[in-house]
A and B are shown apart, each in its own frame.
Chain A
């Protein structure tokens, strides 16, 4: 869909969001709490038929962030859900793999490198770290030495 229509439709889920930020013409960020990420993702993928691109997991000092990147190819816009995972002790979030098959690998990868648990993921086993990598060491966390 064209950009104007996209922006109008995004306002339909405003109640699930903390804020909407537009950094450039073609880049929109939807900020939300972790609990709402699944329904916003479902809205983008199923209702708006946006294409799933990838998820970026970030260790942000006071919380974790999962950025779900989607693409509206008709207008070249990247719509990113920025979900804040506030619990640093036991970070977890609902898996979107049951509705977006393409998310299976990246959720496993984030689980490996950041230690975020993805609830109801159908296959949450190791993906990129070798078999004997020590449990509990998450290489992309800030406290792990570079």
Chain B
């Protein structure tokens, strides 16, 4: 179906070598302002829900943890909670705490990853290198506990597979102290930098109204003043036992979302500390013989927002239906509301603020009425960084520094 040409489009820079390619996000522009977006998501469709019907209940966590690499603890947890709801399983206390510890460690490294990518898109590669350096110790801890830096596969119906050994607790606490210091330095540097204020404030605003229309969740919602969080609203694992705050900001712009993610990282560090200190003795799983007929809804607050799984069982050893809803499924369409009216130099950042998969962000392009790529991702990235450089010059601001003590 041909789109009618909205306005004559000026081709800037070399044409993308893959001209016939249909990019994931196709933006139409009027001059330098975005007027419309079309999205194509068939690239990543792997048919997971159908595959799930061929696997047994305890095999499915391994499948769903690979839906999205960076929410890989949240999907299995939401799924397993749906199954446990059907079977009426009471998970042992220690297992609830271990689940919380793993999921909060994931949130910490996911948010640091995001901060790094945000820095990369605006040309602050120091932030990128720094944030990604300091998420490494978290990945190492997760590897020590579960056997993998990513894709933990640590849940099963009735509890967890791997325990957090008591001997490891002092080490984790020590690492958390270091990570907290680094996150603190990073947060202060971001919140105080005048260039970042000028670059991120008022950019990519998602109004509260639009946030409700698009039913967004996670930091995308909390950055627009909608203070929802599954951990508090529909408590699961050990979240009901811990002391922590839901972080939200009203402005709805990229800066607000950055603040939410940074402050949430501190809450996560606090939660892991408290969970480790309160870690109860006992088994990490109960035996569950079979799943009766029924249906269950499980949800978890992934770093990107609410992950929702619906499972239906007919009493057999496989689900007859497994519905997966990742948070990005509702957050990404909201990009339409936050991106239209923006300057093309801001689109990579606006999209990044929704925190979709990294690979999704790579597939961003401005197209003309015949789906030919006018500005590819490289060009858009370049424009974004140029804008930062311009602002830096205008403000005569000192260079952004991050000490690496």
Contact = CB atoms under 8 A, between A and B. Distances in A.
Given A23-B294, A53-B215, A101-B214, A73 B228 contact: yes
Interface size class of A (residues with CB under 8 A): 35 or more
Contacts of B230: 76
Contact of A102 (B294, B323, B333): B333
A122 interface: no
A11 interface: no
A110 to B, nearest CB: 10
Interface majority SS (helix, strand, loop, mixed), chain B: mixed
B321 A58 contact: yes
A67 B312 CA distance: 12
Interface string A127-141: 111110000000110
A146 B50 contact: yes
Interface size class of B (residues with CB under 8 A): 35 or more
Contact of B325 (A54, A75, A100): A54
Contact of A100 (B53, B54, B215, B312): B215
Interface in A97-145: 100-102, 104-106, 125-131, 139-140
Given A76-B234, A128-B41, A146-B54, A69 B310 contact: yes
B375 to A, nearest CB: 24
A84 interface: no
Given A73-B228, A127-B41, A56 B321 contact: yes
Interface of B: 1, 41-42, 45, 47, 49-51, 53-54, 85, 212-216, 228, 230, 233-235, 294-297, 299, 306, 308, 310, 312, 321, 323, 325, 329-330, 333
Given A139-B47, A146-B53, 4 more contacts: A24-B85, A27-B296, A54-B329, A105-B329
Interface of A: 23-24, 26-27, 29, 51-54, 56, 58, 67, 69, 71, 73-78, 80, 100-102, 104-106, 125-131, 139-140, 146
